[in-house]
Amino acid sequence: MTNDTQSPSLTDGFHLVIDALKHNDIDTIFGLVGIPITDLARLAQAEGMRFIGFRHEQHAGNAAAIAGYMTQKPGICLTVSAPGFLNGLTALANATTNCFPMILISGSSEREIVDLQQGDYEEMDQLNAAKQYAKAAYRINKAEDIGIGIARAIRAAVSGRPGGVYLDLPAQLLGQSLDAALGKKSLVKVVDPVPRQIPAPDSVKRALDLLKGAKRPLILLGKGAAYAQADADIRAFVEKSGIPYLPMSMAKGLLPDTHVQSASAARSYVLAEADVVVLIGARLNWLLSHGKGKTWGAPKQFIQIDISPTEIDSNVAIAAPVIGDIGSCVAALLAGLDAGHSKPSAEWTGAIAERKDKNLTKMAATLDQNPSPMNFHSALRAIRDVLKTHPDINLVNEGANTLDYARSIIDQYQPRKRFDSGTWGIMGIGMGYAIGAAVTSGLPVVAIEGDSAFGFSGMELETICRYQLPIVTIVFNNNGVYKGCDANLNPNVKNDVPVTAFVKGARYDKMIEAFGGIGYHVATPAELTKALTEAIASGKPALINAVIDEAAGTESGRLTTLNPKSGATKK
């Protein structure tokens, strides 16, 4: 350890970093060791923190980000310089994009050599590289600044709109000594890191007035609403107002998906027909067709609750912005509702109920089929029925068809239990989010993964087995990206591999067996039910290789229209 030979009256950069994190109740670091941070990880462990070591920094970063989302405390990811930092940077950018609080801490090489570009080991100007992908980026150069630097990083990550923060720790900083008493005094405990931001009363009144005149109101809950941990008030607002609501994918479970006011099964209808829409922690980005066009049908007026003032009018005009933290804003709206709010008309709620019934009956018929080989629907039916009996399980989900179908078929019953590709539609979050969720909650995780999606983070199965985490990964194996039945288009190379194809009949279950986990290979819904039930009950790392019809699904799932088409695919 670094401090073995140190005089008791001295401390150093290594110790101060760990002391500063612990001083702010941070108890876990996700990372990957090497020069110059190996001893930092050792010290963290020696000081009673958990260090969860990964096989690739992107997944450590994703674990940190999801831990941040679950707890409102920044998740910490620790990496080495240049390449390790860059591997973590994708996760930092993804966290910022999704408004998850995390801090990427990377060691960096000698400043004088980096700045003169003299070719140091893992040389890179990391601070400047990070700036454009992070909410904030800082470097600490002096040991006595570690306390304030960590405080600054924490506050930047969690206050206002949460996001990813980069913290650069030059190798020589870690080795710097400082008088121990001075060091102790330099630590900073962040006071009120997530301050309430109370909305202006006139903005609340404007919103309530608009709502009062609505004939076909709709509430849209986004993952900002889930993040805010204002679950009781959000539920009370929905129920007291009587307004139908739609959850965005990660807001599922904020109210149970089986709630009578959920309009999920009539999504297209309510988006097109609503006249006043209350956005609570949801952005009008591509996931909501930018608030305009065919999806949104007739012109409508928006009430938008968000902590970030510049989110307002980002895509369409917002009639009633309410700026503040969701807890305070929803509480204010709720208080305002008491004064003579009338519930939406039976005509509106009745029309929605009718659509829901029709769509649910149609979906039930599709789900009840038992094609051979299994398709997305029959596999997801089996999973849905098992998960119904485990409402507190964390669900991770990525892929194209696997993501789109699972999102609509698997119900969530509790808040902040669903973690998916999110705002970027990124592949590769699977095992990182699963590990982050398992470590943070101490509860089991089921990760439903397209076979392509799984491949991005598959090596973390070793991490899952090493830490014996209760994670069941289900790989929807249809032999390729989207589907597995594309043709070779190469006129010059006979039997060339189609661009979307993988090895046919791959046995992903064998991968986890290599690390001592339990592998299952299933081809029918009944086998899937049995394997999943057993795997969850075991509490052990498991992987279920679920064989799915390689012709099922569509290219890019529900995003087919986003694909520009070339001559190659047109013929």
Confirm or reject binding of residue 267 to ligand ADP (CB under 6 A).
Answer: no
In whole angstroms, the minimum distance from the beta carbon of 314 to ligand ADP comes to 9
Please, which residue, 291 or 399, has the CB nearer to ligand TZD? 399
Query: Using the rule CB under 6 A, which residue among 143, 156, 207, 250 binds ligand ADP?
Result: 250
Strand extents, DSSP E, 98-163? 102-108, 136-139
Side chain identity, residue 380: L
Please, which residue, 154 or 461, has the CB nearer to ligand TZD? 461
Query: Which 275-294 residues touch ligand ADP, going by CB under 6 A?
Result: 281-283, 285, 287
Please, which residue, 16 or 501, has the CB nearer to ligand TZD? 501
CA distances from 47 to 187, 361, 451 (A): 16, 57, 39
Rounded to 5°, angle at Cα 253 from 252 and 254:
95
**SS3 of residue 303 by DSSP:** strand
Indicate the pairing of strand 10-12 with strand 177-179: antiparallel
Confirm or reject binding of residue 402 to ligand TZD (CB under 6 A).
Answer: yes
Query: Near ligand ADP by CB under 6 A, which window of 10-18, 31-39, 245-253, 384-392?
Result: 245-253
Confirm or reject binding of residue 61 to ligand TZD (CB under 6 A).
Answer: no
Q: Which does 223 bind (CB under 5 to 8 A by kind): ligand ADP, ligand TZD, none?
A: ligand ADP
Q: Which does 426 bind (CB under 5 to 8 A by kind): ligand ADP, ligand TZD, none?
A: ligand TZD
Q: Among positive and negative, which fits the CA dihedral 49, 155, 278, 210?
A: positive
Query: Which 491-520 residues touch ligand ADP, going by CB under 6 A?
Result: none
Place of tokens 């279950």: 509
Residue nearest to ligand ADP (CB): 224
In whole angstroms, the minimum distance from the beta carbon of 94 to ligand ADP comes to 12
In whole angstroms, the minimum distance from the beta carbon of 368 to ligand TZD comes to 21
Cβ pair 106, 88 in contact under 8 A = yes
The DSSP output letter for 344 is P
Structure tokens at 38: 């190996």
d(CA 133, CA 164): 8
Window 406-445: contact mask with ligand ADP (x via CB under 6 A)? -----------------x----------------------
Confirm or reject binding of residue 475 to ligand TZD (CB under 6 A).
Answer: no
Q: Which does 287 bind (CB under 5 to 8 A by kind): ligand ADP, ligand TZD, none?
A: ligand ADP
CA distances from 460 to 49, 343, 431, 456 (A): 21, 50, 6, 9
Query: Using the rule CB under 6 A, which residue among 165, 395, 481, 543 binds ligand TZD?
Result: 481
CA dihedral 556, 559, 563, 569 (to 10 degrees): 50
Query: Near ligand TZD by CB under 6 A, which window of 234-242, 257-265, 304-312, 451-459?
Result: 451-459
Nearest Cα neighbor of 278 from 226, 228, 330 is 330
Query: Which 209-238 residues touch ligand ADP, going by CB under 6 A?
Result: 222-224, 227-228
**Helix (H), strand (E), coil (C) string for 375-438:** CHHHHHHHHHHHHCCCCCCEEEEECCHHHHHHHHHCCCCCCCCEEECHHHCCCCCHHHHHHHHH
Query: Using the rule CB under 6 A, which residue among 96, 262, 349, 452 binds ligand TZD?
Result: 452
d(CA 432, CA 62): 5
In whole angstroms, the minimum distance from the beta carbon of 469 to ligand ADP comes to 26
Give the number of C-alpha atoms closer than 13 A to the C-alpha of residue 230, restricted to the C-beta side: 25
d(CA 378, CA 525): 6
Window 408-437: contact mask with ligand TZD (x via CB under 6 A)? -----------------xxxx---------
Query: Near ligand ADP by CB under 6 A, which window of 150-158, 301-309, 331-339, 394-402?
Result: 301-309
d(CA 207, CA 220): 15
Total residues contacting ligand TZD by CB under 6 A comes to: 18
- Contact residues for 7 (Cβ-Cβ < 8 A; gap 6+): none
Window 515-554: contact mask with ligand TZD (x via CB under 6 A)? --------------------------------------x-
Structure tokens at 561: 């229209």
Confirm or reject binding of residue 470 to ligand ADP (CB under 6 A).
Answer: no
CA dihedral 490, 491, 493, 495 (to 10 degrees): 70
In whole angstroms, the minimum distance from the beta carbon of 367 to ligand TZD comes to 17
Query: Using the rule CB under 6 A, which residue among 24, 401, 412, 457 binds ligand TZD?
Result: 401
Query: Using the rule CB under 6 A, which residue among 130, 326, 386, 410 binds ligand ADP?
Result: 326
Place of tokens 């989900």: 397
Binding site for ligand TZD (CB under 6 A): 399-402, 425-428, 450-453, 476, 478, 481-482, 553, 557
Binding site for ligand ADP (CB under 6 A): 98-99, 161-162, 222-224, 227-228, 248, 250-251, 281-283, 285, 287, 306-308, 311, 325-326, 423
